[in-house]
Amino acid sequence: MDLDAYVGLHRAEWARLENLVRRAARPRRMSGVELDELVDLYQRAATHLSVIRSRCPDPMLVDRLGGTVTRARAVVTGTRDPGWHVVGRFFTVTFPAAVYARRGWVLATCAGSLAVALALGLWVLNSPAAYSGLLPPDEVAAMCRTDFARYYSENPAASFAAHVWTNNAWVSASAIALGALAGLPTLAVLLANATNLGLVGGYMTSCGESTQFFTLILPHGLLELAVVFTAGAVGLRLGWSMIDPGPRRRAEALAMEGRAAVAISLGLAVALALSGLIEAFVTPSSLPAGVRIAIGAAALALFVGYVLVYGSRAVAAGETGDLEKDLLVDLAPTV
């Protein structure tokens, strides 16, 4: 067989097949005629590949045409391509849809946690018994004088960022996972977080260091607290699915919430990496306080805007953050 002549005869078909495979990434934009053409060209290219392999197996040609046929087969048969588009789908559909679908729980968790923190801070400020009974005066003085600010700068920024990210990711993952125990441990995690925030804020304000408190907390804390509240909300909803599964069986409700919780945990870990970098490099920096807080506000706005835009779009399209619809068929009961 004259390989050059064979390639020349079919090159245009292979090029057309490659073009259709690229277009199939957005199948809704393809017409029925194009989809039929894609199937036909895939079958013909598979035959061409078989002929070349058996009669004149040129390695470069076999590799190139084989790649085209493999990608076309994935499109035609629906085989999943474990490529980067899976990662892209996670961050543009699965994760934001899961968070957006739980936005009511997130807002309620945020409001409740901040209310507890504010109440405890005011208690410390207005109750002499609480002020003197919760922390010894020397610890309060040390906190106001050096300890609170030194925490953010006493270690190298890179190692501090890694430490903060690991710790916060663990706390968030625990808040989500412990929700399976009827949500009670998750409430404890949220209460501990709110208590720490409120008491430290109250003591720092009592000694005239409220400005230092907020300028050191807000740059990284805006995003960090949003992530913690989200994790807590997911854990609470996971626990609630055991108490009130709705029209689903209890095991099905727990499984559905659990799968979404895993996706949310992974996405929140990325957000916590960003807040960790801010905490290590921005919070203790010499930048003006307004600039540092603006950076924190921008990070929070980016996270909230991302969830609102991509999440609302995905939920409107029927996504929930659970498995894709074609995989959910495998979970349906059979008789």
Mark out the alpha helices in the chain (DSSP H runs).
3-23, 32-55, 59-77, 84-89, 95-101, 103-126, 128-134, 137-142, 148-150, 157-177, 184-206, 210-243, 250-281, 289-306, 312-316, 325-328
pLDDT digits (tens, 9 = 90+) for 93-133: 999 999 999 999 999 999 999 999 999 999 999 999 999 88
Predicted local distance difference test score (pLDDT) of residue 83: 54
pLDDT along the chain (335 residues), means of 10: 83 90 75 84 89 80 86 75 70 94 96 97 93 90 92 88 89 89 91 95 94 95 96 94 84 84 93 95 95 97 97 89 53 41
CB neighbour class for 109 (10 Å; exposed up to 12, middle 13-18, buried from 19): buried
Nearest one of 194, 182, 184, 322 to 263, comparing CA atoms: 322
Contact between 181 and 239 under an 8 Å Cβ cutoff? The reply is yes
Structure-token pair, residue 166? 């690991």
| Long-range pairs, 4-13, Cβ under 8 A, ≥24 | 6/48, 6/51, 6/52, 6/56, 7/61, 10/44, 10/45, 10/48, 13/41, 13/44, 13/45, 13/48
Instruction: Give domain limits for the chain.
Output: 3-81, 88-331
Residue linked to tokens 């430290």: 200
Please give the pLDDT value at position 102: 95
Dig out the tokens for 211 from the structure: 């400005």
Please choose, from the candidates 128, 166, 203, the residue with its C-alpha nearest in 3D space to the C-alpha of residue 279: 166
pLDDT of residue 77: 75
3-81 CATH: 1.20.58
